[in-house]
Structure 1
């Protein structure tokens, strides 16, 4: 190891063997991996496994993984004994080494989100899991004599007390919540507070992002203030800590892309925090539905997906804007683009059954339009649906498909959200 390396580089270089065994290797055919020394096996290099290495001592030291396999299988020397299950052989015949997967924690979105502060994440990550070296843990290990909280000087310092149960930390967090319009006393611990925060402030808007920044900044500043009092014997008044956290919220969210719908509450909170309130407003669009030419019918369809339930709907109208038929069906929950294709298919089936010869299809789904016209790939689950639709369209004398804005597709949108029975309904207009 070169002596000119920095302390950080030397520490990394020193632990290179621990890093090496945790690297995921794609072995492939194994031509570039040494059978003995490379960690292609889940248990590490074969050379480090004494009992197995002795059993296979007749294999040369310079042999590769590829040299001991034939026709996507192990040679006879490895098919017996405890080394019979070296690793998993996948269908392609390639050898792979897989790392274990771990479940996703529910609080990840409160730490890692667009615009988060990376320097706060390690502290918050440890605090939520109660892994910080608080005085109660140090007292238990015998390295700390005084277990009194450094912030309030009245109760023992534990994770539950330090983060939002202490009078100092509770005052700071309550005043931050008041700025966001919530009067709440945090007395259930950091994990419960994060869970309430995650359920209350959803989405990617300005306010939700600002409160996540406030949460991580509060935890980080409280821990920083605790360490300042322990190691430097200096203290900061809680009002100054509150001001520092509010400044971070202000400057961090100042230039973020805002997506909130402008509302009285959001404007009030933005004014209190000193944030610019220039949320994206919905622009008005003027559009109308035009009837089809004579001897032609127009199909408008739409789809809806809500509460794990999919539904489709639509209607066919003539050249005088007369309604020829309406339909509404419940469908199995799929993606909205797949449901849009199903809605168009059902409408085309009805048009064919009514002996309509010329059909104009309008949809507010640009994705469905591009799939039908071949400008983008169809999902594999809907290949059959697309083939049926294409076969039906060839039976018409004339057909075309075009895009329509959602504002002009309101009747189909209503029918797609209509509370219909599972088998669906088809409504034919009454004749005079």
Structure 2
């Protein structure tokens, strides 16, 4: 655990290095350090936030204690520091060392990030452990209500479980109904013992990277990330563009507003005030540079627009990761960099380059970068024109695709196609059972609280198995377009902790069939299940009669049954 003064000094050194270079001269920065430390998708540079890294590293010690990790340090701490006290509620001893105090100070955060999964409930304390959707219950409800519930302070969760199901004492229902109403959101996995998981990590074990991502400050995502973060980027070009997109360039007009005695007139055109918007996409000089570059990358435009329009236009037209998109992004970043470089050359060196000369410099930089890479283009007229304009010799490839039909089951089996769906505020799953000719035997759709696509894909598999079992089918083939789910079901890979309950139920259902195999299929051939998963009914599990299918669903089923070949592009 580092003292605050240490990581503050380190942050100061990092800031000075970013803005001043190796001499570490203090300089005024126009972009906050919190922004710099954000990930690329949030407009940052993915520099580690030292305070959050420090916290995450300290949380590891708490995880090792609460998960009873078999290490010498944990054994020593439990014997000499915790002794017979409860780790979560013990007071900080007056004689505690500085490092032990800091570990104990992190308990509230660690408590929120650790979760007890309910098995038999014997080893989970009802009031003091984090197992309920409301959090740690003793923190939410006063002692008097706890007393009225008849569950004593050290009661375990098994007090509310009977035969693997929730049985809530009537006193608890009457006195604290909030607990009783939401306890059914907690799944009981009666096939395993109670265990504790670290929620930020998918597998439930502590992971420094996942913990850091969970506790770091989060900002809104920006739309322009792909303009500066791409495969062939020139770092110095992308950095200046990144600063410009944050409006962080120290233009003359900005310095004038800060009180610096300076002529704010743009040095490129000598007409308007020099601010970020004018300099890059508002200056007549810049227009004479930008428009020829646009023509060279295959975009013919008559007008030069303002900053916001141009940035949004570039985001739209320069998207993708292929060689053509990379060239466009190279040109955009080189343009911003050289406009700023020319501005500085005029301000500090009294130099001057005409627009044609600046275009030549930009083209030279882009060509040098392209010459260092083996480029591949899909063979189209537009891409051949692009390669010719930039004098590069790429490898041209033909678009690759395959055609695949819906997979029919063997004659003695039925096919169960499953899928899951996740949106911001809603999630669902679906499954459909068909015989070899493609006749629909049963179908189901359902809704769920949004969590993760893996969970909802698992829910689709479970729904399909339940549907097949309810029809007395004994030999089934299950197909999902989730490679992750199929890999987990076909191997000993540990599923994400929040899917373990449904995973165990699936394993129990599989044992009820004479034959059950899982395979991955392309999404194009899983359209029926995909459609059902996107219906989002009000019910958690809703069987759909084939006779009630809408026309679009009927069309999908018909095309599958007649063996329609679906086109799938291959990268």
TM-score bracket relative to the smaller structure: 0.5 to 0.7
SS at match of 2:517: strand
1:204 to 318, 321, 330: 321
SS at match of 2:401: coil
What are the equivalent positions in structure 2 for 1:303-314 lying under 5 Å apart?
303-305=420-422, 310-314=427-431
Is structure 2 residue 207 aligned with structure 1 residue 89? no
Gaps of 5+ in 1: 1-7, 16-20, 30-65, 79-84
2:94 to 41, 65, 76: 76
Is structure 2 residue 393 aligned with structure 1 residue 284? no
Q: Indicate if the aligned counterparts of 2:458 and 2:485 stay in contact, CA closer than 8 A.
A: yes
Q: Indicate if the aligned counterparts of 1:312 and 1:342 stay in contact, CA closer than 8 A.
A: yes
**Once the two structures are superposed, what CA deviation does each residue of 1:272-325 show, in whole Å capped at 9, x if it has no partner?**
44553736733325677343243x33323344556865454443333x535251
Aligned to 2:191: none
SS at match of 1:163: helix
Aligned to 1:382: 499
Q: Indicate if the aligned counterparts of 1:325 and 1:429 stay in contact, CA closer than 8 A.
A: no
| Distance (Å, rounded) in 2 between the aligned partners of 1:395 and 1:247 | 68
Aligned to 2:306: 188
What are the equivalent positions in structure 2 for 1:404-415 lying under 5 Å apart?
404-406=521-523, 409-410=525-526, 412-413=528-529, 415=531
2:441 to 325, 329, 335: 325
What are the equivalent positions in structure 2 for 1:24-423 lying under 5 Å apart?
25=54, 71=82, 73-76=91-94, 89-91=105-107, 101=217, 103=219, 106=222, 107-137=224-254, 146-178=263-295, 179-181=297-299, 183=301, 185-189=303-307, 193-253=310-370, 265=382, 268-274=385-391, 276=394, 278=396, 281-284=399-402, 289-294=407-412, 296-305=413-422, 310-318=427-435, 321=437, 323-332=439-448, 333-406=450-523, 409-410=525-526, 412-413=528-529, 415-416=531-532, 421-423=537-539
Gaps of 5+ in 2: 1-19, 28-48, 60-76, 83-89, 111-211, 549-571
| Distance (Å, rounded) in 2 between the aligned partners of 1:385 and 1:167 | 63
SS at match of 1:299: strand
1:381–1:353: structure 2 CA closer, same or farther, 3 Å change rule? Answer: same
1:213–1:330: structure 2 CA closer, same or farther, 3 Å change rule? Answer: farther
| Distance (Å, rounded) in 2 between the aligned partners of 1:286 and 1:336 | 25
Deviation, 1:365, is: 3.0
SS at match of 2:107: coil
1:298–1:90: structure 2 CA closer, same or farther, 3 Å change rule? Answer: same
Query: TM-score, normalized by length of structure 1?
Result: 0.67
Please identify the structure whose Cα radius of gyration is greater: 1
SS at match of 1:193: helix
Q: Indicate if the aligned counterparts of 2:377 and 2:396 stay in contact, CA closer than 8 A.
A: no
Q: Indicate if the aligned counterparts of 1:267 and 1:277 stay in contact, CA closer than 8 A.
A: no
CA RMSD of aligned residues (A): 4.5
Q: Indicate if the aligned counterparts of 2:241 and 2:333 stay in contact, CA closer than 8 A.
A: yes
1:196–1:371: structure 2 CA closer, same or farther, 3 Å change rule? Answer: same
| Distance (Å, rounded) in 2 between the aligned partners of 1:92 and 1:253 | 53
Is structure 2 residue 445 aligned with structure 1 residue 427? no
SS at match of 2:272: coil
| Distance (Å, rounded) in 1 between the aligned partners of 2:261 and 2:106 | 54
| Distance (Å, rounded) in 2 between the aligned partners of 1:140 and 1:298 | 70
1:233–1:22: structure 2 CA closer, same or farther, 3 Å change rule? Answer: same
1:311–1:328: structure 2 CA closer, same or farther, 3 Å change rule? Answer: farther
Higher helix share: 2
SS at match of 1:301: strand
Query: TM-score, normalized by length of structure 2?
Result: 0.53
